[in-house]
Amino acid sequence: MYLDVNEAGRQIDVELISRAHKGRISAPPFERQELLNSTRRLLESKRL
């Protein structure tokens, strides 16, 4: 269980990105790209 919400979010982001890049997320290419884009935006917003 994570107490640090930001750290938990980063862990989830990393897992999603690694799965998507390896093609393990069973979604059509368009949806997979949308997932990558939204995850990238999430990561960029956390860097501010």
**Whole-angstrom Cα distance, residue 35 to residue 25?**
10
Domain ranges for the chain, please list them: 5-47
Q: Please give the chain's pLDDT, 48 residues, in tens.
A: 445 667 767 777 777 777 776 766 566 677 777 878 888 888 888 765
Q: Helix, strand or coil for residue 25?
A: coil
What pTM value is reported for the model? Answer: 0.37
Rounded to 5°, the CA angle 24-31-39 comes to 75
Whether the Cβ atoms of residue 36 and residue 43 lie closer than 8 Å to each other: no
Give the pLDDT confidence score for residue 5 in this predicted structure. Answer: 63
